[in-house]
Each structure stands twice: as structure tokens, then as C-alpha cells.
Amino acid sequence: MKVLVAVKRVVDANVNIRVKADATGVELSNVKMAMNPFDEIGVEEAVRLKESGTASEVVAVSAGSSACQETLRTALAMGADRAILVNTDMELQPLAVAKILKAIVDRENPKVILLGKQAIDDDSNATGQMLAALLGWSQGTHISKLLVTDNEVEITREIDGGLETLKLTPPSVLTTDLRLNEPRYASLPNIMKAKKKPIDEVIPEELGVDVTPRLTVLKVEEPPKRSAGVKVSSVKELVEKLRDEAGVI
């Protein structure tokens, strides 16, 4: 069984985000970048499937500029066998990424695709679902537990008030949640080995995919700063403030 895992290069989760002066986006110059944390969980799960003998090959895929090679090398160091970079400087939106991944799937014929449930930069939470729709495959989203066999994929996902367990018929698209696993740190020997693993490069035009943006960002701004809390002397004063100032009752 071949497993395809998609990874995205994003601003490191520990970096304080700064909005550009012209409000067109966030500042990326001289900012530490890293693999999207949810995608990192997907890579870890794919590698575990290989280590258990369920998967025969793990292929990591990323779409973006040549700088995404660094993210792919991280996936290779974690245990992926090879990688594919769809090289483009165009801004990629969820539908474009889903179409790119579909074209890669048509070439690679994996049985399971793992993606993070969302990227921490745009929080769209849409690529996995769009990809499943384009492929016509079964899908499991926000999974916190996974069991894969040749004929069945069993997932557990958190819902309001409990857990939901679903059985899917592969091929399947799966999006990972935080509680699925704890990603490993790549060891120095594996980092060195990753430098020798192949990364194939293609461009969207070779895949027959139009990645022209369909959405326009009008403005990006920081959230309003929270004001300091106040102390009240009585329940009556609290109710009045909640009703008259906060407007929540």
C-alpha cells in the first residue's frame, strides 16, 4: 500500500506574526518557516503505517516555491521514502492545491492520502475535503485514531459530546487532528540520509492544473487588543455590565 502525505511550508508556530504595513498579508521576510504542525502529524502517521508493515512506501508532496524543499527534507528525515515538489511562485489557494494533489494521485495511485486538517496560516480546513470530492474517494476528517487494513480504514474523530468511529472503504483521504500522535524528532543520521533521498520537481502546467487564484484578499489586520478586566462589587453590578456594556444578556 502506498501512502501519500501532503505537507505545507508555513510560518513557525512559535513566531509572533506581524502584519505588513500595507495590510496585504503577514510579514514573511526573515521569518522562521517550518512544516505545518498538522501535516507533521500526517507524516508521523504515514511513517508509523510503514513501520508496522501496513504501508509499503510513503511519498511526501508539497506545492510552492523552491524553498519548500526544506520542508520536504524534513518529511524525508522523519521517514518518508521520496518526495515531490510542485514548483510554483503563484499564491496557492485550497482548490488549486486540491487539484494539484489530484493530479499527483493520478500519477502515483496511492491507497491512502494523509493531510493536516488545516494549515495554521490560513485556517481554511478545506483542501482535504475538496480533494476527496474531486477524486470521489471516501474521507475521514479531524481523525484522532487510525487503523488501516487492506480492505478497510477505521478512524475515530472527536465530535461534540464524544467520539465518533467510522469505517471507510479505501482509497481514502484522511485529515489529521492533534491527538492522533506525537511527531518524532528527526535524528542527525536520518537528516543526513534525507539529503540523498530523491525530490522530483514538476510545475502545475505539466500536471494540467490552473492555479490562478479565485479569491482576493481585501485586507489583513491584527485582532483588536483585549482590554483589562475589571472587578465588580456585587452580582447586580456584574449583571448590569454584562447587559449594558458587553451586550451578552
246 found inside a domain: no
34 found inside a domain: yes
61: three-class secondary structure by DSSP: strand
209 found inside a domain: yes
Q: What is the pLDDT of residues 179-234, one digit of tens each?
A: 999 999 988 999 999 999 999 999 999 999 999 888 888 888 888 888 888 888 89
Give the separation between CA 167 and CA 33, rounded to whole angstroms.
36
237 φ, ψ to 5°? -65, -40
Prediction pTM value: 0.85
75 φ, ψ to 5°? -60, -40
- If you write DSSP's letter for every residue of 132-163 in order, what string do you get? HHHHT-EEEEEEEEEEE-SS-EEEEEEETTEE
Q: What is the pLDDT of residues 110-136, one digit of tens each?
A: 999 999 999 988 888 999 999 999 999
244 found inside a domain: no
Q: Please state the rounded mean pLDDT for residues 139-168.
A: 91
Angle between helices 127-135 and 94-108 (to 10 degrees): 50
Residue with cell 500500500: 1
241 found inside a domain: no
Q: What is the pLDDT of residue 199?
A: 93
**CATH no. for residue 214?**
3.40.50.620
240 found inside a domain: no
- Check whether 150 has a pLDDT greater than 80: no
Question: Which cell is 154 given?
Answer: 477505521
Q: What is the pLDDT of residue 153?
A: 93
Q: What is the pLDDT of residue 113?
A: 96
Beta strands at 162-168 and 172-176: parallel, antiparallel or unpaired: unpaired
Query: How many domains are there within the chain?
Result: 1
237 found inside a domain: no
For residues 125 and 158, is the Cβ–Cβ distance under 8 A? no
Task: Give the domain range for residue 146.
Answer: 2-224
Question: Which cell is 236 given?
Answer: 447586580
| Amino acid identity at 187 | S
33 found inside a domain: yes
